[in-house]
């Protein structure tokens, strides 16, 4: 069975959709639905069963494998970059991931883990996913640090050649509507433009970047899960890998792409960035994808313009923000 933790979340549910596209339905979704609206991400998808994250942890801590595990695609984590409860992040993002990883190694199952580009901090040491350089990275927030700790643990335990850990850059696309403030700017922009006719972006407080000129590596969710599917099938490819486009774009580019997808003339207003995030703000990210390319991954990346157009016109504008197998 293929197990997707965080399977009702953004990337997790999109991966269930991708597995369905591949004809795979023997899937166990592991998550903590609680009172959130992310259950909507599962509607229309095909999977065998659902299990609460705590019950799944109980099974694997007892050394049991009633699931006949073939793979665990571990997307389950707190993904909030503003989460301040460090103990919660240590247990939920770091310790839990260790347990799931050990379970996979014990049962000879494929393990694909969600790391994060937040591990790169302000990018002073670049954005290369080579194993030798991860020790010097300095994340700017506790979320990034919790992800960094697992990668360091895997390296120190000499298991990076047996698992996959993926550093996702700025992912956007269907199935993120439940994320509230952590939704992509494209998702927020569509709503904002619909309601006000304009888009608000943060001003720049860095002399090298104009307002809206801050650059990020925006990657479409459909490309992300296609890469993960390729890794699932190519079990001899292991290690830490970036997941991005290698083409950083400005926030202005993103805004203009949304306006274009909506058929509206651009109207961007620049507003003050909250002081609480100014010192930890990333002005530039760029995924070096050479390592994954060299491994043979041939997934073609979607341009920002095409990705925004698909997301806006085929999902947001149709009042349907979900991927479905129907």
Per-residue pLDDT tens digits for 255-274 = 999 999 999 999 999 999 99
Q: How many domains does the structure of the chain reveal? A: 1
Q: Is 242 part of any domain?
A: yes
Distance of CA 196 to the CA centre of its chain: 29
Please give the pLDDT value at position 34: 85
With bands split at pLDDT 50, 70 and 90, how would you rate the model's confidence at 319?
confident
Please compute the mean of the pLDDT values over residues 148-172 and round it to a whole number: 97
| Residue 54: inside a domain | yes
Confidence of residue 237 (pLDDT cuts 50, 70, 90): very high
pTM for the model: 0.94
Instruction: List, by residue number, the catalytic residues.
Output: 143, 179
142: in domain:
yes
**Does residue 121 fall inside a structural domain?**
yes
Given this model, what pLDDT does residue 272 score?
97
pLDDT score at 90: 86
14, part of any domain: yes
Which residue segment(s) compose the domain that 105 sits in?
2-173+218-246+285-302
Is residue 253 situated within a structural domain?
no
Strands (DSSP E) contained in the chain are: 2-5, 27-31, 49-52, 71-74, 110-114, 164-168, 170-172, 199-202, 215-216, 218-220, 239-243, 249-250, 268-271
201 vs 132, residue with greater confidence? 201
pLDDT for position 78:
74
Query: Per residue in 177-214, pLDDT tens?
Result: 887 777 899 999 999 999 999 999 999 999 999 999 99
Least confident of 26-30, 85-89, 139-143, 233-237: 85-89
Res 179: pLDDT: 78
Does residue 325 surpass a pLDDT of 80? no
The answer to the question of residue 186 being in a domain is no
With tokens 């670049």, the residue in question is: 126
CATH number, domain at 85?
3.40.50.720
CA–CA distances in Å: residue 231 to residues 46, 133, 293: 21, 22, 12
Split at pLDDT 50, 70, 90, the class of 36 is confident
Which stretch of 79-93, 116-130, 190-204 has the lowest confidence by average pLDDT?
A: 79-93
Query: Is 326 among the domain residues?
Result: no
Which of helix, strand or coil describes residue 41? helix
Which band of pLDDT confidence, cut at 50, 70 and 90, is reported for residue 98? Answer: very high
Q: How far apart are CA 194 and CA 177, in angstroms?
A: 16
pLDDT surpasses 90 at 277: no
């Amino acid at each position: 069975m293929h197990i997707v933790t965080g399977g009702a979340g953004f990337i997790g549910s999109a991966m269930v959709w991708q597995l369905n596209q591949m004809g795979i339905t023997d899937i166990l979704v592991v998550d903590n639905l609680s009172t959130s609206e992310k259950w909507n991400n599962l509607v229309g998808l095909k999977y065998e069963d659902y299990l609460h994250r705590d019950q799944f942890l109980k099974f694997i801590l007892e050394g049991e494998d009633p699931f006949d595990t073939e793979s665990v695609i571990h997307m389950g984590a707190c993904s909030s970059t503003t989460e301040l409860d460090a103990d919660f992040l240590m247990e939920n993002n770091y310790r839990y991931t260790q347990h799931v990883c050990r379970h996979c190694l014990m049962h000879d199952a494929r393990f694909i883990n969600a790391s994060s580009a937040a591990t790169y901090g302000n990018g002073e040491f670049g954005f290369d996913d080579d194993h030798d350089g991860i020790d010097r990275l300095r994340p700017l927030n506790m979320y990034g640090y919790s992800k960094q700790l697992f990668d360091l643990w895997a390296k120190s335990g000499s298991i990076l050649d047996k698992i996959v850990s993926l550093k996702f850059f700025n992912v956007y696309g269907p199935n993120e509507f439940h994320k509230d403030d952590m939704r992509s700017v494209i998702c927020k922009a569509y709503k904002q433009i619909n309601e006000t006719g304009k888009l608000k972006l943060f001003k720049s407080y860095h002399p090298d970047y104009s307002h809206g000129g801050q650059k990020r590596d925006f990657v479409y969710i459909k490309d992300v899960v296609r890469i993960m599917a390729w890794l699932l099938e190519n079990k001899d490819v292991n290690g830490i890998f970036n997941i991005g486009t290698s083409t950083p774009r400005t926030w202005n580019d993103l805004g203009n792409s949304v306006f274009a997808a909506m058929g509206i003339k651009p109207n961007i207003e620049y507003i003050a960035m909250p002081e609480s995030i100014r010192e930890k703000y990333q002005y530039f990210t760029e995924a070096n994808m050479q390592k994954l390319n060299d491994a043979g991954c041939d997934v073609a990346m979607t341009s920002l313009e095409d990705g925004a157009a698909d997301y806006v016109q085929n999902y947001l504008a149709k009042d349907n923000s979900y991927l479905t197998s129907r």
